[in-house]
Structure 1
């Protein structure tokens, strides 16, 4: 009898050891493979974020041979059902784990004493509880991981040019009476005789996605230790001044330094203004600058000793300023358009050059042809430089629409409408309205900042006939009141950064 009890106890010990071994296997089974299953999807479905923010398939990356290509990034072409493959794999793992847990709850045969049963049961329950907590935690991580991917995919696919104008009581982001440190008074319509300001409350709402709220602090954090450069005509200057007001909320900032000298942006003797401005926010070492280049091509006086000399307008060369300082920029926004007319060329004494000699190509001699040739040339040149500067993001802003009615700027054209959105509030088209800009960036790493169609709906937002003087001035149906439409251009730019 004694020997029988001793043998029975040995059996109990063996059974307990077997149960503990099973529990160890179960814990190992869940803590390692299942843990990794939730954290790391199968290698064939791993998505990688490139330096420029694009989502890339690991298989695509492994198939690339050129380092330049890997810097540029590849548009995500992985269908959404492939992302769900990870979920199905993990669900299968979860179903398998549930079956194992159900089986482990059964009492092993030959275990007869209550104390042994209780001990085994407690060990199983403890193991099961830990595994459930682990599964719950990993599910949370998995959900967050997939949400990030979904957000990235949504942002990549968002067409910010489609949407509608809506009234937003939180707008404008700065006062038209303020921002005197950055805003030209001639564009501050609150300082003119204008009485209606409903247009200041309108904000653009994209159709396919949410646009992140702009704040100066978020912008500066995103652009820490970086430089943003606007290069273009007076509409580019308006976008530059708008951004400075948006970042500062129109308030005076003693911590913002004028660093124009670093870029040669100083007022020349006898000039009305410098060729541009550059300011640095010392808190984040963020520089915002603007350089005036109405034609967006290289300009070179033919006789440096003669102040009335003709100027070679090199249609196939970038502005010297851009060529010289491109390496210092992290974000570049280019634009041109409204100076491409015979009157402007004649007034500026610009003579078209191609290949370093006067142009003889009749197709290019036409203003529209010359503009088309120049826009394609400058975007091609910038695109060719991007592999050298993989951190640089370059945008070409589509043309800002004019709203002259019953004539042009010099023939009595007017823009008297003060009722916002009287011509409609929504843009549903997928294709850009500025076909030249869209065609020039097609297939390039230079991105389109498409603002034409949404701005076309805002004919009430121009400076119009209102001036700083007591009497109305000539109608300006080209430039915008600030705060106003250019603020939206910067919101979209911010979203695309």
Structure 2
């Protein structure tokens, strides 16, 4: 009995061994025939890197900014981007990746999303899109570096090539046809006004246009007594009924005189209210571009007699009273309000433009800071990163229908494109390393805007 049991057990074990070998054989044949079939292998879409060509770029300029949290780079990993298809080879292709873990995760997805933030500056002899000599009708002479003593203009001949998509060539008449019966509004500080003037030059190809109508009065843009300029401009192209306008609002706060009968009165700076102009005209606007940033400092508030208000009363919240926190609160407040309005205005596309970087080196604007570089892309030509350099702007639009027009990192590579010491109105010894020469970098901001419309 015992011997029979042992033999039966051995027989079962033998059957199991045979069955195991059979299963292994089946799996091996399946893997050989399918999994390792070369016809089923897909090429990896990862961006190739070339360690031999890698260069470290140190672009931390936080000590020179009013708000380091906005304009400073985080710790970064530098790598070299692939050359864009059909694009001329860049001078260099240095890029910044914020989060390696995020990058590895993103690399598994195919295809890559085109966000226009990442890409390279490439030389393009077809640039600029208009002449600084010819666009006098729309362009402030102090921003037209062709009218100054500057003799180097290489900065005019670059275009931005996004990494994962082709950016359509801007063509004035085609753009105006696309914007038929539409109004494009820029609301912000002087960098917003540069973008507005850039668009006017681009839409007219920098040519004199007697047919373009000044319709500023329709939007309340009149020169107030004692003012140097109106608080905005608006022009209409009759052929397509396209209106392009700009409204001055350096902080995006609603400003209200505390005593309207007193010409020296202070102003309530409502951190939780968008500008009255935007509230009153939102229904007339089809493309809205907002920006703020460089006017948020104590000097500007004192000079303009702006007093922070919250909930219709003077702000007593010490935490919000900190300048950079007040700015962030305002940006989030305006974007949140705008997002709530969008369902009621389905025709409207809203953008918040990230901050334009300053390039003062060896001091600030009033302490001998300069931007004398005439070498385009001396610190690299490419950007690849998973987050915006303007974390405040990125955080404000996150989860909303307001789009981020992210121009900070790509503009940071263009320190040679500022007005520098060539500004007509600049005081001797003071350089303008905040505003840009036009034609120049703001044209690219508008090209990116046009590509997203």
TM-score category of the 2 structures, normalised to the smaller one: 0.7 to 0.9
* Residue correspondence of structure 1 range 61-210 to structure 2 within 5 A: 157-210=113-166
Distance in 1 between the 2:426 and 2:297 partners? 32
Counterpart selection for 2:353 from 385, 397, 406: 397
CA contact (8 A) 2:366 2:430 kept: no
Once the two structures are superposed, residues 309-341 of structure 1 have per-residue CA deviations (whole angstroms, 9 ceiling, x without a partner) of 111000000101111111100000000000000
Once the two structures are superposed, residues 398-429 of structure 1 have per-residue CA deviations (whole angstroms, 9 ceiling, x without a partner) of 00000011111111111111111001111011
SS in 1 for 2:378: coil
Distance in 1 between the 2:362 and 2:322 partners? 26
SS in 1 for 2:404: strand
Distance in 1 between the 2:279 and 2:324 partners? 25
Residue in 1 that maps onto 2:48: none
Counterpart selection for 1:485 from 413, 417, 441: 441
Counterpart selection for 1:314 from 262, 270, 278: 270
Question: 1:157 Cα shift?
Answer: 2.9
Distance in 2 between the 1:432 and 1:489 partners? 15
SS in 1 for 2:206: coil
SS in 2 for 1:351: strand
Distance in 2 between the 1:423 and 1:176 partners? 26
* Residue correspondence of structure 1 range 49-448 to structure 2 within 5 A: 157-448=113-404
Unpaired stretches in structure 1, ≥5 consecutive residues: 1-153
Q: Are the structure 2 counterparts of residues 298 and 155 from structure 1 closer, same or farther at C-alpha, using a change threshold of 3 Å?
A: farther
Distance in 1 between the 2:452 and 2:137 partners? 27
- The structure number with the bigger radius of gyration is 1
Once the two structures are superposed, residues 80-134 of structure 1 have per-residue CA deviations (whole angstroms, 9 ceiling, x without a partner) of xxxxxxxxxxxxxxxxxxxxxxxxxxxxxxxxxxxxxxxxxxxxxxxxxxxxxxx
Counterpart selection for 2:431 from 458, 475, 482: 475
Question: 1:175 Cα shift?
Answer: 0.5
Q: Are the structure 2 counterparts of residues 408 and 470 from structure 1 closer, same or farther at C-alpha, using a change threshold of 3 Å?
A: closer
Q: Are the structure 2 counterparts of residues 473 and 248 from structure 1 closer, same or farther at C-alpha, using a change threshold of 3 Å?
A: farther
TM-score, length basis structure 2: 0.75
SS in 1 for 2:307: strand
Question: 1:467 Cα shift?
Answer: 2.8
Once the two structures are superposed, residues 142-190 of structure 1 have per-residue CA deviations (whole angstroms, 9 ceiling, x without a partner) of xxxxxxxxxxxx9993120100101001100101111011000000001
Q: Are the structure 2 counterparts of residues 196 and 355 from structure 1 closer, same or farther at C-alpha, using a change threshold of 3 Å?
A: same
Distance in 2 between the 1:496 and 1:470 partners? 36
Once the two structures are superposed, residues 38-72 of structure 1 have per-residue CA deviations (whole angstroms, 9 ceiling, x without a partner) of xxxxxxxxxxxxxxxxxxxxxxxxxxxxxxxxxxx
CA contact (8 A) 1:187 1:482 kept: yes
SS in 2 for 1:306: coil
Distance in 1 between the 2:444 and 2:423 partners? 23
Question: 1:365 Cα shift?
Answer: 0.4
More helix by share: 1
CA contact (8 A) 2:286 2:347 kept: yes
Distance in 2 between the 1:224 and 1:349 partners? 41
Question: 1:475 Cα shift?
Answer: 0.1
CA contact (8 A) 1:467 1:473 kept: no
Distance in 2 between the 1:448 and 1:470 partners? 32
Question: 1:430 Cα shift?
Answer: 2.2
SS in 1 for 2:121: strand
- Higher RCO structure, 1 or 2 (CA under 8 Å, sep 6+): 2
CA contact (8 A) 1:466 1:472 kept: no
Unpaired stretches in structure 2, ≥5 consecutive residues: 1-109
Question: 1:468 Cα shift?
Answer: 2.8
1:495 aligns with 2:451: yes
Q: Are the structure 2 counterparts of residues 349 and 170 from structure 1 closer, same or farther at C-alpha, using a change threshold of 3 Å?
A: same
Question: 1:436 Cα shift?
Answer: 0.2
CA contact (8 A) 1:415 1:464 kept: yes
Distance in 2 between the 1:224 and 1:470 partners? 39
CA contact (8 A) 2:127 2:156 kept: yes
CA contact (8 A) 1:466 1:473 kept: no
SS in 2 for 1:157: coil
Residue in 2 that maps onto 1:451: 407
Report the number of matched residues: 345
CA contact (8 A) 2:369 2:430 kept: no
